[in-house]
Amino acid sequence: MGRRNSCTIYVGNLPGDIREREVEDLFYKYGRIVDIDLKIPPRPPGYAFVEFEDPRDADDAIYGRDGYDFDGYRLRVELAHGGRAQSYSYDRPSSFSNGRRGGVSRRSEFRVMVDGLPSSASWQDLKDHMRRAGDVCFSDVYREGGATVGVVDYTNYDDMKYAIRKLDDTEFRNAFSRAYIRVRQYDARSRSRSRSLSYSRSRSYSRSVSRSPLPVDERF
């Protein structure tokens, strides 16, 4: 198989109203994208060919997005022209995985809690947002007490502190909703004591910012 073929993936079972930018949003984190060829037939589902600069990025995209639920459509992702993804025997960090889909899940002590997430937030959405501050090695989203809460681990202390400083009180977005989030250092000892208080503060904060949204740092 030629290099171009090994860098190009087929993405099937796409919604009929999907846009090229949304396809890019699904795959940009795996590596530099050279080209996106989106095909929307008269009858859905649609499909696309996404070409990466590096064949290893194409493998990572297949590993991370095959079977992914996008707006109710379970994506089919594979190498174009019937190819199969290469073995993961090479030494490459799988930092895009949170451990749910297999592979090695890396955890660390450099952990932050994220409050105020919309109910539609996924761990992939959260990781995309939080990686703006540094190297994320784990993310998860869960429901607790009627709220949506996120946990994010960074690979080092500096990135964790930078995330608290730069991403606290920023606007989180995904394909379905947006909300202003609060980011703070994880404290396991006080977690159980502060659940009800932190969630009530998060809800009141969400109401206030909806009336007067704060500007988003365009550098992100």
CATH classification at residue 46: 3.30.70.330
State the pTM of this model: 0.44
**pLDDT score, position 106:** 63
Structural domain contains residue 25: yes
Distance CA 81, CA 202 (A): 48
Distance CA 77, CA 62 (A): 5
Structural domain contains residue 41: yes
Distance CA 191, CA 11 (A): 41
Domain count, the chain: 2
**Mean pLDDT in residue range 97-102:** 38
Structural domain contains residue 191: no
pLDDT digits (tens, 9 = 90+) for 17-70: 888 988 988 888 888 899 999 998 888 899 999 999 989 889 989 988 899 888
**pLDDT score, position 191:** 54
- 218 residue type, one letter: E
Identify which has the larger pLDDT, 43 or 126.
126
Instruction: Look up residue 68 and give its DSSP letter.
Output: -
Report the candidate in 88, 86, 70 with the shortest Cα–Cα distance to residue 26: 70
Distance CA 102, CA 99 (A): 5
- 9 residue type, one letter: I
Per-residue pLDDT for 197 more than 60? no
Distance CA 113, CA 152 (A): 7
Structural domain contains residue 58: yes
- 142 residue type, one letter: Y
Tokens of 63: 């590993």
| Domain coverage including residue 137 | 111-184
Are the C-beta atoms of residues 112 and 83 closer than 8 Å to each other? no
Same domain for 180 and 122: yes
* Token pair 């990025």 in the structure block, residue: 57
Same domain for 120 and 59: no
Strand stretches in the chain, DSSP E: 8-14, 33-39, 46-52, 69-70, 73-74, 76-79, 110-117, 136-144, 147-154, 170-173, 178-185
